[in-house]
Amino acid sequence: MKKIQMKQVAILSLAATLLFNPINASAALLKKGSKGNEVQSVQLALKDLGYFRYNNATGYYGTITYKAVKEFQKKNGLLADGIVGKQTRNAILKLTAKKQNAAVKLSTKTAEKATDQVSAQVTKSGALDWFKEVRYLWKRGVNATITDVNTGKSFQVRRTFGTNHADVEPLTKADSAMIKDIWGGWSWERRAVVVQVGDSILAGSMTAMPHAGVDSEPAVKIVNNRSDNYGRGQNLDAVKENGASGVMDLHFTNSRTHSTNVVQASHQNMVKKAAKYIESTLTKVIEVASNTK
């Protein structure tokens, strides 16, 4: 598969971030205790500017976000109160737009090359086959960023188990909280998701029900009372103290269930939905690159 160079991946990520999570210039004050899409958008913008250093944007305005905002305010001549009001929000928007413009103002030759490479990535990413490509591309023990198609909210997981499909676990309690926020609690509902592993962007279908694990016991040990009434068996919980006991199912094109070994139409429909979302989003990114030539 033809890969995008890291600099071009950064451009892609920046443009996609702005498409998924635009900052609302007229939103209400954001401060400690605030949560939601607007907080996540500010976190993503500050992360891109080098102030928010947590591994993912949680959508919750806690101590880390507060310190990041204060640092941004101090370095940009604003009142350092750790609150995102009109002046701070406008400053973030201004600097984010400036950085984006600098990133996409490439020479004609470079822009054409980036567009060609993004186009090639689109044809090779999206709804990749689980057995032929994804299980080799995304190996066990490797982390990925998941974006829910309907809400645009993101979280991180690690692939820990699974043969017929990927069994994944949230990395942190904050990631578990974000998953529960998206699904409305632990749930077997299938949702279309975008899976970013390195510079690969994959279409997937995920459920949010931790199962077959006990967080307090060692991984792969034979234990009783595994989560979601799975009873006695091997403990499928490798990521500890993350707010979830067990693994969650993540399906791709032609992946199968573990117990019944079937391809579920409900999952495949969500994969197709995610693939259309990826195609639409990357098309907009290509247009942005083309318009800067």
Per-residue model confidence as pLDDT tens digits over 59-116: 999 999 999 999 999 999 999 999 999 999 999 988 887 776 665 554 445 545 544 5
pTM strictly above 0.95: no
The full DSSP string for 122-162 is HHHSBS-BIIIIIHHHS-TT-EEEEEETTT--EEEEEEEE-
pLDDT at 97: 79
Residue % of the chain over a pLDDT of 70: 78
* 134 burial type by CB count under 10 A (0-12 exposed, 13-18 middle, 19+ buried): buried
pLDDT at 163: 96
Residue 193 confidence class, pLDDT cut points 50, 70, 90: very high
Examine the pLDDT at 172 and tell me if it is beyond 90: yes
Any residues with CB less than 8 A from the CB of 150 and at least 6 apart, and which? 191, 192
Examine the pLDDT at 292 and tell me if it is beyond 90: no
Highest mean pLDDT among 15-19, 86-90, 182-186: 182-186
pLDDT at 55: 86
Asked which of 55-59, 113-117, 138-142, 253-257 is least confident by mean pLDDT, the reply is 113-117
What sign does the dihedral 8-58-266-141 (CA atoms) show? positive
pLDDT at 14: 46
Question: Rounded to whole angstroms, how far apart are CA atoms 109 and 293?
Answer: 8
